Amino acid sequence: MWKETLEELGLSKNEARVYISLVKLGQTTAWEVSRNTKIHRANVYDALQGLIKKSLVSYQIKEKTKYFEADDPQTILSLLKEKEIKAKKIIPEIKSTIHSKKEKNSLFIFEGISGIKKTTEDILSSLSKGGIVKSFGMPKGTINNVKNFMESYHFMRIKQKIKMQIIYNQYDKERINELNKMLLTEARSLPGISPSTTTIYADKIVFWIWSENPLIVIIKNEKMAKAYSTYFDLLWKNSKK
């Protein structure tokens, strides 16, 4: 039992066996440890050197002979503490690396009304004051089933000073007029540009597939977002107020 635990704490197999032997024998020679453990003497010396470095074993010289003994087992706790300190030093760097790898390019898929809510929440959390949301390919009557929720979203967006530009792919006079009355909001139309809605914000592109159970695909990719933003600007110049 001791042996397995000591190995789990970082001792080699021979170090664990030699340490246990010293605990049982008390102060003794390497030769006696070799005889007791049946480990070759050269390997016993290697294990003893390792245990000395770990402060688990010390020795005295008597009549030109080294006598080894196990030190206070409390030192074992120091081994754990040392490992904890080392781990704490590298954990932030590891987390940072994992985070950067995950965040560089990501894809998320949401469904239904809950997916719409998650996406709008992400828009609000991703953009700071002065940010902008660009959407094109918005079909007529899209928000009928979620109008109250979308009004709440626009309220929060405007409160956070986030601008929005929307291009409808059909002329929806009533809704376009409503949007244009809002602060920080512009709506236009450009017929037949897309069967689905595309939204660009921060470093993300969202594809909204409007159906009975809406499907939302979010791609996080800075280069793609910039390209789509440039494409949107061209559409915006050709759209009608």
- pTM across the whole model: 0.57
**Three-state DSSP class for 192?**
coil
Domains and CATH numbers, the chain: 2-73 (1.10.10.10), 105-238 (3.30.870.10)
Mean pLDDT to the nearest integer, 143-169: 86
- The DSSP annotation for 60-97 comes to EEETTEEEEEE--TTHHHHHHHHHHHHHHHHHHHHHHH
Tokens of 151: 């009004």
Encode pLDDT of 36-54 as tens digits. 999 998 999 999 998 888 8
Encode pLDDT of 182-196 as tens digits. 999 999 998 877 778
pLDDT band at 228 (very low <50, low <70, confident <90, very high): very high
- The DSSP annotation for 120-170 comes to HHHHHHH--TT-EEEEEEEPTTGGGGGHHHHHHHHHHHHHTT-EEEEEESS
Residue 47 parent element (H or E):
helix 41-53
Other Cβ atoms closer than 10 A to 126: 15
